[in-house]
Each structure stands twice: as C-alpha cells, then as structure tokens.
Amino acid sequence: MGPGVPEHELAALALGLARSVPLPAPARQLLVDVTAISKTDLRTGIQRVVRALVWEFIQAPPPGYRIEPVAMSSEGGVWHYRHARAWTASMLGIPGGWAADDAVDYGAGDVLLIADFTSGYVVEAQRCGLFNAMRQAGVRVTFTVYDLLPIQMPQMFPPGTAEMHASWFASAALAADSAVCISQAVAQEVAAHAAASGPQRSTPLRVDWFHLGADFEGSIPTGGVPDGAPQVLAALRARPSFLLVGTVEPRKGHAQTLAAFECLWARGRDVNLVIVGKRGWMMDALCDRMRGHPEAGRRLFWIEGASDEYLQQLYAASLCLIAASEGEGFGLPLIEAAQHGLPIIARDIAVFREVAGACASYFSGLGAEPLADCVQAWLAQWEAGTAPRSDRMQWQTWRESAQQVLRSLPLVPAEVGDTSGSASSAAATRRATC
C-alpha cells in the first residue's frame, strides 16, 4: 500500500493481520499511563507520585511482567496508546533515542494502570471506545483516584471544574475494572460516590487503596536552591517558624492561616509564617496581599516554585508544620514534616487523622481566631515539652507504596519459569476510531 494511505485504514489492516497470523505469545505488560506528565511535567504532587511509582515498578517489576510507560494519543480521531520511551529516558536520566514512541501492542493478560490524572484524555478515549477495545482484548484496566474534591467542594475550584471532574470519574468508572485510591478516606468517598452517582455498570466497581511513599530519594526529587536561600533559612531559624506547604488555592487554608498569624502578630507573638507553593487559581487578591504585606520578607515568607531539595531545607529550618487544607486526598507534607521531627498542627479532617493519628495537634473552624488560639496553645505546649511528637508517625517508602499498588492490580500470577502472557490471542496494535 503506497504513501498517503489514511492512518485508520493502516490501523484496520494491522489489526486484521494480527488476528489472522499466528504470533509468539508476548510477555505480559504492565502498561502505566503517564499521559499528562509525559506532555508537561508541572511538578505537582500527583506527578511526583507518578514518577515515584514508575521508578519503583521499573526497579522491582511484578513477576512475569515488564513495565511499559505509555501515553494516550489521537491522530485524525484515532485514539490509541503510544510508548512513552522518550519521557522514560528523560526521567531515568539516560540518553534518549534508543527506541521510538511507537504504538502499543497489547493482549490478554496485560494490565493498564492509569496512574496519571488525565481527565480530558480519558473522557474522549472512553467515548471513542479505546478502553472497551482493550478490555475486549483481555486487558484489565485500573485507574488511580487522588481525590474527588472538585465534586465535593465545587466552590473551591474554577467554574466548570466540578463538571469536568464528574465527567472524568464517570468515564473512568466505565473504562476500568477497578479503582485504586491514595488513602482509605478517598476509597470510602469513591465507593459512596460510585454507588450514589456513578455510571451504570454490569458489575460493581472494585475499589482499593494504598498510601503514598515518603522517602525523599524514591520520588525522583528535583534539585536547585535559589541565590537568596541562605538569608531566608537564617531568618527562619531566628524565631519560631510555621510552615505551610501547598499550591495557593482556596481549599488549602492560606487566607485563614495568614489572618491567624496577623492576629498572633497583633498579640505580640514574634513568629514567622512560611508559605511554600506556587500561585494557583482564584487567589489573585490574596497573592497580591502577601506580596505587598508589611511583614513580607521579615516575618512572612512566600516561596514559589521551591525544588524538592530546597523544600527539605525549609522543613529543617522550621519549627512546626501547619496543614490547614479543608480537603485532601492524602497529605504528604504531614509525613515529610514527621521525617524532620517537625511537629504538626492540622485541620481536623478524616484523611489527616488517618495519616497522622495522635502524632499531631488538631484545630477546627474557619476563622482567624480558632487557628490563632490553637497556635498559641501549641506554643505553650512546645515550651513545656508536651506537644504531640510527629517522629513517631508511621510511614512507608515508595517501594512499599508501589508494592501496595501492585497487590491491588489484577495481575496474573506467574507460573514457574513463565514470563509470557496468555497465548489465547495475539497482541495487536489496537486503536479506537471516533
């Protein structure tokens, strides 16, 4: 067939040949969807999880499987998966070009883990039949749920986000055999939401959960420290410094925390507030206020775009972490703080109780006074040596986290000496045309 043949005709021809010509059974594959991060790595918390899981899967793959990071693609309305080898090489720090990002062959016994949050891609690919085709070919599909917050608290997100998230969940719940969530709290919320508002399925959506890892090196950390870092770190060590980590967005509690510290400053408490997180959405007024605040650079520090290396130094220079978020999927800063022996003041929400238990102090309420009172009471406990200790908090490594994920997946147990997949059908480059 000469040049200029439409891609969907080539795809149909490839599929027909694959179904008609006997081929050796391929090795089973754990296909890990890295669609969003492979196109744009925003260094978000979700993408940190994706990098860490892929790294651990590659280091210790499940018996009988090889790990293949993949990304969704659509050319001319044809949805399919392509290998993400260029991205994988970059993440591993090895030279690229050793293999092309060609279309993925898959077959019975393979498993697809949608590890990344790829909302728009999942919706369109599901509508065009990609996942249905994969499941018909014998691929088992699991998607990761980081949270349902846009559905649960739509007022905290830009207009349309709640509808987009609901559409993503409905599409993913139809596309997949199961979901794996980043905490037990999220798993309970997903199960309840699927039962009450989820799409109609022939079988219930299986829901499992795991906890994120927290070993620094296991997350493929970013490096680099800005020129002014020594001065900032010295200022943090000069007086009690309270650290808040997270994108500056409405649900994270930045406005309440700043108001609480303005109250503490008015009461004569000489303390620092350190905010680490990039500028998010719907917070322009607060961001402008922080930039022009009378205490900016003196007792108020806002650090945008801190690398993982710099963040570790900020944890080490601070006295206490404040986790003021009104909703979270997990709360990794709590564990990062505990690794530095940094005490924690957290909002009293279910997932923070799940992660920190009795190893944190808790507050409730949305105004400045409740948090200011809690900080003041905590300072008295700290001075008396009676504040809850975070260094007793239980946490796991990314290797352990990855193993939790693998146990939740519908992997086929490997027989002795068997490293191949099912021979019941030949693998093919299967695509969905919309």
> DSSP string of 259-293?
HHHHHHHHTT---EEEEE--B-SS-HHHHHHHHT-
> Do 259 and 148 lie in a common domain?
no
Residue 23 placed within a domain: yes
Q: Which residue in this structure is represented by tokens 């594959």?
A: 29
Structure tokens at 369: 């006074």
Structure tokens at 228: 């002014």
The CATH number of the domain holding residue 152 is 3.40.50.2000
Q: What single-letter DSSP state applies at residue 213?
A: B
Give the per-residue pLDDT at 183: 96
Number of domains in the chain: 2
Residue 145 carries which side chain, given as an amino acid letter?
V
Residue 1 placed within a domain: no
> Do 310 and 284 lie in a common domain?
yes
Give the per-residue pLDDT at 77: 82
Residue 324 placed within a domain: yes
CB 215 within 8 A of CB 290: no
Instruction: Give the whole-angstrom CA distance, residue 117 versus residue 72.
Output: 12
Handedness of CA 358, 303, 160, 141 (dihedral sign): negative
Give the per-residue pLDDT at 40: 78
> Do 161 and 292 lie in a common domain?
no
| Cβ-Cβ contacts under 8 Å for 267 (sequence gap 6 or more) | 372, 376
> Do 375 and 415 lie in a common domain?
no
> Do 256 and 196 lie in a common domain?
no
Last residue of a domain, one of 376, 392, 408: 392
Residue 65 placed within a domain: yes
The whole-angstrom distance between residue 400's C-alpha and the CA centroid of its chain comes to 16
> Do 196 and 300 lie in a common domain?
no
Residues 128, 45, 60: CA angle, nearest 5 degrees: 80
> Do 403 and 361 lie in a common domain?
no
Give the per-residue pLDDT at 26: 54
Give the per-residue pLDDT at 93: 85
> Do 203 and 259 lie in a common domain?
no
Residue 2 placed within a domain: no
Containing domain of residue 166, as a range? 7-213+398-433
Q: Residue 34 phi/psi, 5° resolution? A: -125, 35
Whole-model pTM: value is 0.84
> Do 242 and 209 lie in a common domain?
no
Instruction: Give the whole-angstrom CA distance, residue 185 versus residue 156.
Output: 20
> Do 420 and 285 lie in a common domain?
no
Residue 369 placed within a domain: yes
Residue 53 placed within a domain: yes
> Do 308 and 381 lie in a common domain?
yes
The whole-angstrom distance between residue 200's C-alpha and the CA centroid of its chain comes to 27
How far, CA to CA in Å, does 261 sit from each of 82, 87, 270, 375? 50, 43, 10, 9
> Do 298 and 325 lie in a common domain?
yes
Residue 20 placed within a domain: yes
208, 214, 220, 225: CA torsion to nearest 10: 140
Give the per-residue pLDDT at 424: 32
CB 119 within 8 A of CB 90: no
The whole-angstrom distance between residue 309's C-alpha and the CA centroid of its chain comes to 19
Q: Which residue in this structure is represented by tokens 């003021």?
A: 324
Q: Return averaged pLDDT per consecutive 10 residues of the chain, 434 residues in all.
A: 53 52 66 92 79 94 95 90 93 82 93 93 94 95 97 97 96 95 97 91 93 76 86 96 96 98 98 96 96 97 91 95 97 92 97 96 96 98 96 92 96 58 37 45
